[in-house]
Amino acid sequence: MHQQLKLWTFSLLLCGLLAAPQAVTAADQDDAETGTYTLGEIVIKGKADGVEATESVYTVTAEDIQAKNARTLDQALSLLPGVNIRVGADGTPRIGVRGFRTRHVVLLLNGIPINSAVDQDFNPTLIPTENIAFIKLTSGASSVLYGQGGLGGVINIVTKQGTTGLQGMVSGEFGDHQTYLTRASVSGRKGMFDFLVTGSAQDIDSFPLSDDFVPTSVQGEGYRGNSDRERRNFLANFGFTPNKDLAIGLTLNYLQGKWGKPASVINDPFDPFANNPRYERVDSSEGVSAQLAADLQVTEQLSFRGWTFINWLEEETNRYDNAGMNSLLSRGSFRQLARTTVYGITVQPKYDMGKGGTITLSLSAEKDGWSNSGFETVAANTFSPLSDDKVVSLYATAVQYEISPLEGLGFTAGYGHHWQNRTERRTNDFAVNAGVYYDILKDTRLKAAFSRNIRFPAIGDLYSAGSGNPELDPEISYTYEGGVEQKLPFNSSISLTAFHTKAKNLIQTDQASGLSENLAEVRFRGVEVAAATQFIKGLLLRASYTYLDSKDKSRAGREELQYTPRDRVTMEAKYDFDLGLTPYFSVQYVGNQYFYTRNNVSPVRKMGLNDFVLVNVKLSQKILKDKVTLYVGADNILDENYETSYGFPQAGRYIYGGLEFQL
């Protein structure tokens, strides 16, 4: 690890520790006993239900993750309303929310921003699930306290925390084609101190293709070429609670991995929809993040919350000129070593005015850095060096007000102002949110929300070789949504949310100049319906339907936004038998999504992807007084041959089995 990184990390943590007693809010003492590390949660609930009661918030718990055997973040979120998981040419699952792409979704791990400083994307397969207590997805309108960037929504991961005593877990899982996954954790709490240490390792040799896949000239039957994936993860939380008014926590996270990017299976220059295959790999990825956070209750009314963090990532990406991945001599090949660093600090004082409501102020500063080295092949056996170093600073201030004048009635409003400073230009813009909820009946809640949000251009948008444009303006979205939540008899519930979003100045490549420009305007509108029931003990049933109508106004000849499904249905069921047996079953239908001819092909034509249905099953059995859990399962048990991007087939049937031992 670089000496400079070590110095930054030490300095940052030391400064945060010294500042913590003056810049923090009181932690909920119950968190330590429930095993939830909430020091990193940005949106703070007040005495009333708060801003989240007016928004669309979906939660995935640790129990949900275990039931479906979700190994990484994308699998954990795959069944939520409004979420679309798509894999394209970069080989990485991308999490879209209500039509927006991954770069428009803010990802936080205990308050640490995980989005890349280069393009604001993130790789969900590098985020394991064994340390997660719960995940909150806020779709559409979100609190100004989350900051800029979340046009589509916010994914807030909250990890586990040590509880009284000493606990531990080890597990191993094996599957088709020599894949394996091992996980371990140890945690505990004694007196004022608690800790959690987790680690995992996963190795996928390649994923199986469906038996219905038709081989092509560049992809045979059996297993997908260049689809191997390897990762190693480590996370630790350390907490110190000297009294009921002060809590301090330290989070350390390390990841290492490498993976292939499967090429298109279509190598036909006359196919107007398919680009030529590219042979690309991430041959090394290593990252470290750290956060120091604290809560301080100053008086009965006044509290402070604050955290300081650093997130460092280094990746070596190689694009080869042949399927053997051993040559970089032809034009278009490159070898790039990119380093990104994101570090910052946030302070959130909060004042409870009793019947007058609650007001929360947020002040934050962040610095994003990017450097790269290597070379690109500009002609046969002719190389051009890559060398660049860019820094962008972000500052924000926000205020959120919440009030509940009557029982069952609440209002919230917020304003945030954001600044982006870079060498050639300074720009600023604002965000607002407003919401209301009203319990019209004891078990019936009406809610509505509005937000204006922004996303500043990322470093890659501004400075990428050949396409970067330093004059880009922020992207802007306007979201309106309203809904109803209804509790039903027999421990059941249903919710319905309608939304309308208009996004302007979206950044895309201009076909004439080749530069990134503020060109696109899109409109999304739709409905999300979600229902759940536990009408008998041990049984859980869930279902959801998302209707999403998109309109792409960015280019002539286009209608729906490319690769944006109109219809999506999910269902899942789980039953816990008294003897420790638990069967789990899920179904996902995705339909009516379209794509267009390549950018240089005229006239523009539209084609539809095949609709598909994915069925996953899992069967687990607890033995030895619930200390040991044995399980087997199958993903895509029907062996569906499907694509989420044209020319990129996804995994067929995958069978696995494993064992988990609670220490």
Q: How large is the average pLDDT for residues 5-21?
A: 35
Tokens of 577: 């038998």
pLDDT at 305 over 50: yes
pLDDT band at 5 (very low <50, low <70, confident <90, very high): very low
Buried b (16+ CB within 10 A) or exposed e, 458-477: bbbbbbbeebbbeebbbbbb
Q: Which residues pair with 392 in a beta bridge?
A: 368
Cα 105 to Cα 150: distance, rounded to the nearest angstrom:
5
Tokens of 533: 């029931």
From residue 73, give the alpha-carbon distance in Å to each of 145, 151, 157, 244, 285: 23, 20, 9, 33, 18
Rounded to 5 degrees, φ, ψ at 142 are -140, 165
- Across the chain, what does the average pLDDT equal? 91
pLDDT at 18 over 60: no
pLDDT of residue 3: 43
**Tens of pLDDT, residues 603-616:** 889 999 999 999 99
| Minimum mean pLDDT range among 160-164, 293-297, 597-601 | 597-601
pLDDT band at 48 (very low <50, low <70, confident <90, very high): low
Q: How large is the average pLDDT for residues 8-35?
A: 39
pLDDT at 150 over 60: yes
Contact 117, 370 (CB under 8 A): yes
pLDDT band at 51 (very low <50, low <70, confident <90, very high): confident
pLDDT at 465 over 90: no
Contact 94, 115 (CB under 8 A): no
Closest by CA position to 80, among listed 480, 446, 529, 574? 529
| Minimum mean pLDDT range among 24-38, 78-92, 373-387, 573-587 | 24-38
- How open is the CA angle 224-607-545, to the nearest 5 degrees? 80
Which long-range CB contacts under 8 A does 3-8 form with residues at least 24 apart? 5/288, 5/312, 5/341, 8/310, 8/312, 8/341, 8/343
pLDDT of residue 42: 66
DSSP state of 611: P
**Tens of pLDDT, residues 114-134:** 999 999 999 999 999 999 999
Q: Rounded to 10 degrees, what is the CA torsion of 534, 543, 584, 228?
A: -150
From residue 354, give the alpha-carbon distance in Å to each of 47, 300, 399, 436, 617: 9, 10, 18, 19, 49
SS3 320: strand
Closest by CA position to 40, among listed 157, 147, 193? 157
What domains are there in the chain, each with its CATH number? 3-662 (2.40.170.20)
pLDDT of residue 153: 95
pLDDT of residue 20: 32
SS3 181: strand
Cα 524 to Cα 354: distance, rounded to the nearest angstrom:
39
**Tens of pLDDT, residues 417-463:** 999 999 889 999 999 999 999 999 999 999 999 999 999 999 999 99
Q: How large is the average pLDDT for residues 519-529?
A: 94
Contact 127, 289 (CB under 8 A): no
Tokens of 112: 């640490």
pLDDT of residue 225: 95
pLDDT of residue 11: 39
Q: How many CB atoms lie within 10 A of CB 411?
A: 18
pLDDT at 31 over 70: no
Closest by CA position to 472, among listed 409, 515, 436, 525? 515
Q: How large is the average pLDDT for residues 496-504?
A: 97
Give the DSSP H/E element, type plus range, for residue 179: strand 179-190
**Tens of pLDDT, residues 622-635:** 999 999 999 999 99
Contact 250, 13 (CB under 8 A): yes
pLDDT band at 145 (very low <50, low <70, confident <90, very high): very high
Amino acid at 221: E
| Minimum mean pLDDT range among 37-46, 100-109, 295-304, 398-407 | 37-46
- How open is the CA angle 398-400-401, to the nearest 5 degrees? 150
Cα 42 to Cα 359: distance, rounded to the nearest angstrom:
14
Give the DSSP H/E element, type plus range, for residue 39: none
Bigger pLDDT: 28 vs 357: 357
pLDDT at 19 over 50: no
Pairing type for strands 132-139 and 153-159 reads antiparallel
DSSP string, 334-374: EEEEEEEEEEEEEEEEEEE-GGG-EEEEEEEEEEEEEEEEE
pLDDT at 13 over 90: no
pLDDT at 27 over 70: no
pLDDT at 329 over 50: yes
CA distance from start to end of the chain = 33
Cα 194 to Cα 636: distance, rounded to the nearest angstrom:
40
Q: How large is the average pLDDT for residues 297-315?
A: 95
pLDDT at 638 over 90: yes
pLDDT at 391 over 80: yes
| Minimum mean pLDDT range among 29-43, 196-210, 500-514, 636-650 | 29-43
Cα 56 to Cα 368: distance, rounded to the nearest angstrom:
30
What is the separation of C-alpha 547 from the centre of its chain, rounded to a whole number of angstroms? 21
From residue 435, give the alpha-carbon distance in Å to each of 27, 142, 366, 500, 557: 26, 10, 28, 15, 37
Cα 144 to Cα 413: distance, rounded to the nearest angstrom:
9
**Tens of pLDDT, residues 330-339:** 999 999 999 9
